[in-house]
Structure 1
Amino acid sequence: MAGLITRFAPSPTGPLHLGHAFSALTAWDLAKAARGQFLLRIEDIDTARSKPAFDAQIHDDLHWLSLSWPEPVMRQSERRTAYDAALAQLEALGVTYRCTCTRGDIRTALAAPQEGAPLIGPDGPIYPGTCRHAGHDNPAATIRLDMARATALTGSVGFTETGPLRPGPHQFAPDFLTTHVGDIVLARRDIGTSYHLAVTVDDAAQGVTLVTRGADLFDATAVHALLQRLLALPTPAYHHHRLIRDETGKRLAKRDDSRALSLYRAEGASPTDIRRMVGL
């Protein structure tokens, strides 16, 4: 892919583990093979959980793996103005609303007998739309995307998958997005944005042409393709890679400290050993 730009975008809320190493190395290898560019982005919008020590360790571990990137790196904690501008653009389109529901409120609404088993979307149980027509104007409320209004503007949206798991073009119809994705959060009351909004705005700002990330985020990509259309941003290609799992088949998470790269390093492992462990 000519002019390929991809990225690795970890959150500094814990140590990097083997799964992160696989994702970063996959992105690096794709960029190197295409004579493209590899970027590092620090996704630290969750300032309460993000720690400078983990941020520093991310850099140290990636340099140990022989990866490099342009400096300075983009940090989401420094980009609130860009996210506010995107929110204002979506609000001007009439596709947002304010929501005062707590997680407990949502669980209660979804537990009602007439609702049946809740559908699960990219953000978990799909929001039942309690506040969709309530007209809340509380500036501290969560901001949600009105998926029905959004898809009325965009129609079907899609992206091209270049990874080996589900290669080819993928299209998502309005009915699918309203039923299986729902009114996702655009801005949480505590951080002023959300993963979906921030990653969409940042990929465009960095000129990313190939998003490299785990297969567990495949469904979320439909959300990002929709936001790209609404915000008049380019849609990159996507490479969703396999996940690194433990011996029980469960994907690795930040709490899997026993598989932290720093521990393998302390035990004398080399970057070549890490590549072998993750199947590269």
Structure 2
Amino acid sequence: MFEQFLEIAFEAELDTSEHPELMALAPELCGEHPATRAAAIQELRDMVYERGECSPRRMDDAFLLRFLRARRFVVPRAHRQLVRYCTFMEQYPELYKDVDLFSLIRVGHAYEGTLFDRPDVGRVSIFRFGTWDPNEYPVEDLVKTGMAIMEIGTRSPKMQILGGTCIVDLEGVTLKHAATLTPTIAYQIVCMMGLAHPCRLKSAHVVNNNWFLGTFVYLFKRFIDPKTWKRIHFHGHDLKSLQQHIDPECLPVRYGGTCRNHVTIATWLEKIRKYRDEKFDKEMKEIGYIIKE
């Protein structure tokens, strides 16, 4: 029964429908109202044309909605993020252009997620970079995988509206890992966690932090505004502290929770490959990804 539930959840990952129960949450979670939505989309589209600060690859309603939802339908803020997104894509085409999407399955356990999405927490994503062996593949592959997660995830109206919470688990991080974390890599990660990509990060939680924490703070804080920094919490090895912010129902057993339906990025991408359709392939290819049969 549990496996059947997971399969249904995986198939739903590619659902781009706007279900009534989801849209009922939109006013509270992202400031979206049916009576003003079309006008906001058109205002953002007009602003793009009038200001000429970016040239998005798409200008359709569904694409612009991602940025409006990420910025609570405040059009100037959505426009600034869209400009940052376009700039980021122009600066770092190597993160997606001619990248074999499903070859990123090799990243394995470095990313995890729970398929248990609640309005208060959203999707819980877990970064476990200590499980990564730098001798197997370069840090750039981790960033490429993060990029793919964002591009696939932000297709979903559910993820656009519910947003997400992330856990950065530093267990197992060594000097070899730390040496790969350059300012450029740190900046790319911050961009993908909401500075440029249209995702709604509710909060971030650093656990099992060790000597590496100082480097983490120094590299990332320079790219994160003070308002966002207040949503980052450091828990050390205190799982009770983490559970005060994230209901144990939403946490894997590893963090003192009861959530069973958490998966690795390898499993997630395998299921995306299984359930993808022509629309998915077309959109990902338009970004620049290679989709092999």
Both proteins in one fold, TM over 0.5:
no
What's the TM-score, normalizing by structure 1?
Answer: 0.30
Higher helix share: 2
Larger-gyration structure (1/2): 1
Higher strand share: 1
What's the TM-score, normalizing by structure 2?
Answer: 0.29
